[in-house]
């Protein structure tokens, strides 16, 4: 017998896939795992603020030749113009995309100013701009994608919200981040309730080794919290983005989660 071939990712058929926050960190790792699983005729739409790394990722995925059409929209989802541009791309691309499956990944997010305590957050513009990017855009992108794709006989629709332990547990100095994540989590639970034929997953990827963690351990106002994040790094407990993204893909392939559920990296 010859050498066993390596495991080929199981194909997902023709998929329309939308991924926000795709240019770096967890989103970039996820895009690299998703692309080879998308069958011919699939669409992978990548959204992010930074055009150069997004274009570079799109080139890399196209060169790998998965058979999926890779499109990108560089837009700041926190601004009305950026969100409109992303929504226009969804309305343009999704209705015509031949797909047995719609997958929407809400991964874009930011920490907010974690040097500030609750009592420092007195500027409504700062708070509103945080929620515009972290909550409003996730709601509007998802509803637009579901509407543009529509209900198609025999096709499935899945929405993933990249959540956090912070959706469930308060952390000092993280007022904006914790409340944004909690708000998104509840939003997607309502979607799961209203649309029983849409599969909804709130996935908390664990403490990832990203720029966000670097900010957490250097910029958090509370010294005890800073120390906590420094310890995570020093004791090697930060998780590689690709490892966490792999678990998310596994969850989606097994497809046994309860719709609307919060599933943590450590539960899988």
Domain containing residue 130: CATH number: 3.40.50.720
Cα 113 to the chain's mean position, in Å? 21
Q: Domains in the chain: how many in total?
A: 1
Q: How many residues are recorded in the chain?
A: 268
Q: Confirm whether 85 is domain-assigned.
A: yes
pTM for the complete prediction?
A: 0.95
Q: Confirm whether 222 is domain-assigned.
A: no
Q: Confirm whether 1 is domain-assigned.
A: no
Q: What is the mean pLDDT of residues 62-89?
A: 95
Given a contact cutoff of 8 angstroms between Cβ atoms, the answer to whether 17 and 34 are in contact is: yes
43-48 and 69-74 as β-strands: parallel, antiparallel, unpaired?
parallel
Q: The sheet that has 198-204: what strands, in order across it?
A: 69-74, 43-48, 15-20, 101-106, 156-162, 198-204, 261-264
Q: What is the pLDDT of residue 67?
A: 81
Domain with 64 in it: 15-207+242-264
Per-residue pLDDT of 10-46, as tens digits, reads 578 899 999 999 999 999 999 999 999 999 899 999 9
Q: Confirm whether 190 is domain-assigned.
A: yes
**Is the Cα dihedral 181, 185, 186, 188 positive or negative?**
positive
Q: Confirm whether 230 is domain-assigned.
A: no
Q: Confirm whether 95 is domain-assigned.
A: yes
Q: Confirm whether 234 is domain-assigned.
A: no
Q: Confirm whether 5 is domain-assigned.
A: no
Per-residue pLDDT of 125-154, as tens digits, reads 999 999 999 999 999 999 999 999 999 999
């Amino acid at each position: 017998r010859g050498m066993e071939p390596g495991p080929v990712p199981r194909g997902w058929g023709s998929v329309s896939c939308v991924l926000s926050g795709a240019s770096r960190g967890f989103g970039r790792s996820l895009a690299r795992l998703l692309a080879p699983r998308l069958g011919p005729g699939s669409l992978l739409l990548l959204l992010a603020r930074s055009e150069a790394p997004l274009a570079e990722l799109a080139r890399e995925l196209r060169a790998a030749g998965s058979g999926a059409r890779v499109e990108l929209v560089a837009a700041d989802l926190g601004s009305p113009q950026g969100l409109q541009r992303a929504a226009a791309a969804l309305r343009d691309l999704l209705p015509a995309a031949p797909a047995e499956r719609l997958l929407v990944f809400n991964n874009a997010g930011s920490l907010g100013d974690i040097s500030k305590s609750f009592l420092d957050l007195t500027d409504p513009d700062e708070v509103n701009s945080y929620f515009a990017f972290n909550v409003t855009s996730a709601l509007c992108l998802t509803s637009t994608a579901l509407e543009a794709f529509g209900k198609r006989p025999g096709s499935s629709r899945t929405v993933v919200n990249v959540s956090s332990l912070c959706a469930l547990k308060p952390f000092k100095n993280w007022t904006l981040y914790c409340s944004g994540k909690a708000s998104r989590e509840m939003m997607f639970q309502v979607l799961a309730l209203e649309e029983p034929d849409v599969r909804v997953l709130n996935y908390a990827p664990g403490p990832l080794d990203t720029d966000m963690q670097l900010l957490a351990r250097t910029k958090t106002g509370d010294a005890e919290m800073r120390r906590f994040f420094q310890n995570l790094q020093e004791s090697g407990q930060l998780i590689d983005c690709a490892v966490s993204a792999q678990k998310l893909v596994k969850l989606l392939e097994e497809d046994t989660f309860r719709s609307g559920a919060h599933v943590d990296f450590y539960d899988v």
